[in-house]
């Protein structure tokens, strides 16, 4: 299938502010960019850590095609069964096989099949199995099943994400980094045709510390004592990328979308 497609990928939704901002901006984003697929990282969607079945259902009902997660996948116990049952929500593929959920899926729109893969980095992160070997296994599994493949590489270290971009260049349509919540300025199409960015950024309140209310984050850092974190609400932005592709597994372009909340958003 070689019709032109575009994929909107939205960086980590943080708390109700991030969720509401996505829902508020999605109609306009659809009108302006007409994405064939919308994929969202939802690992911080429930109060800043984890996701619940209700929130996942709400996102899917709003037209999100697939949800990726990360190190916060299991913060909410009620999601465990849902991760096994709902095909279109992913936890990192390189978690242990015995952990709830699965790491890739295929979604279809008008005859085009998009494979979505979620991976976790191994540097400074807890993932039971190596990301690079699992990436190969996931792409192998998707070879006959998908026309395009989007990989969410959820990782702390920029080096590991850059390396994953090179590792999959020419084999995936897009390798998009998440987890650090700060958008990086290196979005580009690699020579083999893979759209790449080290971090998409987050969809949440920029007035905090990567999504946490800044007074609480500062208190923890200054006093070195435990502090209960709450999601920030001040100055919400949506951080996303739009990937365009016209032949299988090859991207034509990647565009960063860094959008403030519309006037009157609360
Ligand atoms: Fe996150
Ligand atoms: Fe994360």
Q: Are 260 and 231 in contact (CB under 8 A)?
A: no
**Which residues are in the CB-under-5-Å shell of ion ligand 1?**
12, 43-44
pLDDT classification of 2: cutoffs 50, 70, 90: low
Task: Indicate left, alpha or beta for 243 from its phi (over 0: left) and psi (-120 to 50: alpha).
Answer: beta
Helix crossing, 53-61 with 15-33: angle to 10°? 20
The radius of gyration of the chain from alpha carbons, rounded to an integer in Å, stands at 17
Cα of 250 from ligand 2 centre, angstroms: 27
Cα of 221 from ligand 2 centre, angstroms: 19
**CA gap 210, 232 in Å, rounded:** 9
Give the number of the ligand closest to the Cα of residue 125: 2
> What digits encode the pLDDT tens for the residues 226-264?
999 999 999 999 999 999 999 999 999 999 999 999 998
- Assess whether 102 carries a catalytic annotation: no
Q: How far is CA 151 from CA 23, 24, 142, 186, in A?
A: 23, 26, 12, 17
pLDDT classification of 3: cutoffs 50, 70, 90: confident
pTM (whole model) above 0.95: yes
**CA gap 248, 43 in Å, rounded:** 29
Query: Which one of the listed residues 72, 148, 167, 179 is annotated catalytic?
Result: 72
Cα of 112 from ligand 1 centre, angstroms: 29
Give the number of the ligand closest to the Cα of residue 91: 2
Q: Which of 4, 3, 32, 48 is nearest to 244 (CA)?
A: 4
Which residues pair with residue 246 across a beta bridge?
Answer: none
């Amino acid at each position: 299938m070689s019709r032109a497609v575009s994929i909107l990928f939205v960086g980590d939704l943080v708390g109700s502010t991030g969720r509401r901002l996505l829902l508020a901006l999605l109609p306009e984003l659809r009108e302006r960019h007409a994405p064939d697929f919308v994929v969202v990282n939802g690992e911080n969607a429930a109060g800043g850590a984890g996701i619940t079945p209700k929130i996942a259902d709400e996102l899917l009902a709003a037209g999100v095609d697939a949800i990726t997660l990360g190190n916060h996948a299991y913060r909410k116990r009620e999601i465990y069964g849902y991760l096994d049952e709902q095909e279109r929500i992913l936890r990192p593929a390189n978690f242990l096989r015995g952990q709830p959920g699965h790491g890739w899926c295929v979604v279809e729109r008008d005859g085009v099949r998009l494979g979505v893969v979620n991976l976790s980095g191994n540097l400074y992160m807890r993932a039971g199995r190596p990301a690079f070997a699992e990436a190969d296994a996931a792409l192998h599994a998707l070879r006959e099943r998908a026309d395009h493949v989007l990989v969410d590489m959820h990782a702390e270290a920029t080096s590991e994400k850059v390396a994953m971009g090179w590792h999959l260049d020419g084999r995936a349509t897009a390798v998009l980094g998440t987890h650090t919540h700060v958008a990086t300025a290196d979005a580009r199409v690699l020579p083999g045709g893979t759209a790449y960015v080290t971090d998409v950024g987050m969809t949440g309140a920029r007035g905090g510390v990567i999504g946490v209310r800044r007074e609480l984050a500062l208190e923890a850092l200054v006093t070195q004592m435990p502090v209960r974190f709450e999601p920030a609400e001040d100055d919400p932005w949506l951080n996303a990328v739009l990937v365009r592709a016209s032949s299988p597994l090859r991207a034509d372009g990647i565009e960063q979308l860094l959008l403030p909340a519309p006037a009157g958003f609360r």
